[in-house]
Each structure stands twice: as structure tokens, then as C-alpha cells.
Amino acid sequence: MRAPLSVLLLPLSAMAQSAMPTEFPADTVVLAADVLQLRMAGKVYKAKLTDGATWRLEYKSNGYIFLNTGSGFSDSGKWSVKGEQLCSEWTRAPSGCSETRANNEAIYIKRSSTGEVVALRPD
């Protein structure tokens, strides 16, 4: 019995869809620090990582940030913009700065820990 070619290729297409993005989308641009600051301050963003994890990030105008994940982890700290990077100083999670790009739909960060490009979409 012969399996259709599409059935044989299904595992390959599933693997391709779950590949971790490490490049920013082609339609994204670097934002000036003041523009990035305005895009983040007082806003709530949601993100879904390649591994299925979800984040909810609340960027307060006073420089505080709150994180809640789909797995129940939460943290807080301070956020800032340094050049084209979005920085977070967490209480429990690893702190650092992430290279950032944006388009009309989302802010994209490149995680320094994994290189994964993650879309932060307004909630």
C-alpha cells in the first residue's frame, strides 16, 4: 500500500512551522528611542513563543513592567529603552536588553537568551 506524498511530507511541514524565527520580518524597521518609548509606555502586549509558551507584558508609563506567563510564572521589574533596544530588569527572571524592530502590527524583540524573534502584539 502506498501512502500519498502529502502524508509523508506532513511531519516535515510541521517541523518547518515550528522552526524558531531568528530574523526580523522584512517589513519591520528600527524605531527611534523616543518612538519606541511611546509605543511601549502604558501598554499591554501579548506574545506566543515558538515552544507554545505565552506571555502577557504590561509596560507602565512610570517604568515598571509586569509579566504573566501561561504556565503561571509571574515577575515584575523595571523597563527602559536604550537606543534601539528594549531593556528589562526583572526581580526573578534574567534581565537584559533585546534588539527591537516594529511594524504597524507588532513590536518584535530578539531574545538575547535564545535569538528567537518574538512578536509583542497589543492586547
**Dihedral sign (CA 115, 75, 57, 15):** positive
Vertex 68 angle, CA 65 and 74, to 5°: 85
Q: What's the pLDDT score for residue 113?
A: 87
Q: Tell me whether residue 108 is in a domain.
A: yes
Count of structural domains within the chain: 1
Q: Tell me whether residue 8 is in a domain.
A: no
Here the cell at position 7 is: 502524508
The CATH number of the domain where 98 resides is what? 2.40.128.640
pLDDT above 90 covers what percent of the chain?
Answer: 82
Q: What's the pLDDT score for residue 40?
A: 98
Residue 59 burial (CB < 10 Å; 0-12/13-18/19+)? buried
Q: Tell me whether residue 13 is in a domain.
A: no
Q: Count the helices and strands in the chain (H runs, E runs).
A: 2, 8
Eight-state DSSP code of residue 29? B
Q: Tell me whether residue 102 is in a domain.
A: yes
Tens digits of per-residue pLDDT, 24-78?
999 999 999 999 999 999 999 999 999 999 999 999 999 999 999 999 999 999 9
Q: Tell me whether residue 38 is in a domain.
A: yes
Which among 50, 89, 57, 88 is positioned nearest to 74, based on CA atoms?
57
Q: Tell me whether residue 6 is in a domain.
A: no
Q: What's the pLDDT score for residue 41?
A: 98
pTM (global) more than 0.75? yes
Q: Tell me whether residue 77 is in a domain.
A: yes
Domain extent for 90: 21-122
Which among 117, 113, 115 is positioned nearest to 26, based on CA atoms?
117
Q: Tell me whether residue 14 is in a domain.
A: no
